[in-house]
């Protein structure tokens, strides 16, 4: 499914199974209880499904480029449904390699609350009163279901809360990759759930990172709903700054 060719063969056996002899060097044994829907067969040889294999590689921190390649190839060859491929893309996008992983996790809640620390991880809370209306994606974890915002909502929230995303320059950098997971129709639907100023800024940044397809889809919404200009950066001065007429954005900071 990708250019990665592992040096060893990986086998999964039930959790209760214990190997009582030396494992050959060319084998790696994993213990896990697999559900029936996670099992497949290739030329009579029992295997895990493509989805389960990609999820396992993701848990073992295989590089995102190879994972994305496997997802696209699995979709092309018919081993993954469209919804499965989308969920896997979102999973890969939201978990960078271990050495790049952020030590701050942000959680949306209905009311403000103080940040907490769990070991080396700091959890910050961002209040949003209309939280239950926001589109989310769910995936299974060892401790239950986890919910996180869709790619479209994440993009809007980054421009809405740039200070929580490392600033607008970092937002633009993230958008380059995040845009690959966004769908134009869903972006317009999600835009209606957030302040129009967020769509104004997002449209400008999408053009900046050369995602005209998404920007063009968002433009009619901004044209119909934006009543005034909004600064690209709210805390910066706007005197003498250039004004983008398409998005009604005051370009008061370099990105």
Exposed, middle or buried: residue 82 (CB in 10 Å: 0-12, 13-18, 19+)? exposed
Tokens 């993954």 found at? 80
Q: What is the CA radius of gyration of the chain?
A: 22
Q: What is the pLDDT of residues 200-251, one digit of tens each?
A: 999 999 999 888 899 999 999 999 999 999 999 988 889 999 999 999 999 9
Torsion-angle region of 123 (φ positive above 0: left; ψ -120 to 50: alpha; else: beta) = beta
Give the long-range contacts of residues 243-249, CB within 8 A, separation 24 or more.
244/204, 246/203, 246/204, 246/207, 246/219, 246/222, 247/200, 247/201, 247/203, 247/204, 247/207, 247/219, 247/222, 248/200, 248/222, 249/200, 249/201, 249/203, 249/204
pTM of the prediction?
A: 0.58
Which residues 6+ apart lie within 8 Å of 140 measured at CB? Answer: 146
Q: What is the pLDDT, as a whole number, of residue 154? A: 92
Domains in the chain: boundaries: 9-99, 150-251
pLDDT over threshold 60, residue 99:
no
Using CA atoms, how far residue 103 sits from 14, 63, 121, 122, in Å, is: 33, 19, 5, 6
Whether 15 shows a pLDDT value over 50: the answer reads yes
């Amino acid at each position: 499914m990708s250019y990665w060719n592992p040096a060893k063969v990986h086998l999964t056996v039930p959790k209760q199974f214990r190997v009582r002899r030396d494992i050959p060097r060319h084998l790696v044994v994993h213990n896990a209880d697999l559900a029936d829907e996670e099992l497949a067969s290739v030329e009579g040889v029992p295997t895990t499904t493509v989805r389960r294999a990609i999820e396992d590689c993701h848990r073992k921190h295989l590089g995102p480029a190879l994972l994305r390649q496997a997802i696209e190839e699995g979709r092309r060859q018919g081993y993954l449904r469209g919804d499965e491929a989308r969920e896997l893309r979102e999973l890969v996008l939201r978990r960078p390699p271990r050495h790049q992983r952020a030590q701050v996790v942000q959680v949306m809640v209905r009311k403000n609350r103080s940040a907490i620390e769990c070991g080396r991880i700091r959890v910050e809370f961002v209040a949003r009163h209309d939280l239950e209306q926001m589109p989310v994606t769910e995936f299974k974890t060892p401790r239950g279901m986890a919910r996180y915002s869709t790619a479209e909502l994440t993009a809007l929230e980054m421009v809405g809360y740039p200070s929580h995303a490392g600033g607008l320059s970092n937002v633009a950098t993230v958008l380059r990759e995040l845009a690959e997971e966004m769908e134009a129709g869903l972006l317009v639907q999600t835009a209606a759930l957030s302040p129009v100023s967020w769509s104004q800024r997002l449209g400008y940044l999408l053009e900046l990172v050369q995602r005209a397809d998404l920007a063009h889809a968002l433009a009619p919404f901004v044209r119909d709903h934006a009543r005034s200009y909004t600064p690209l950066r709210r805390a910066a001065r706007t005197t003498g700054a250039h004004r983008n007429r398409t998005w009604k954005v005051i370009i008061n900071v370099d990105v």
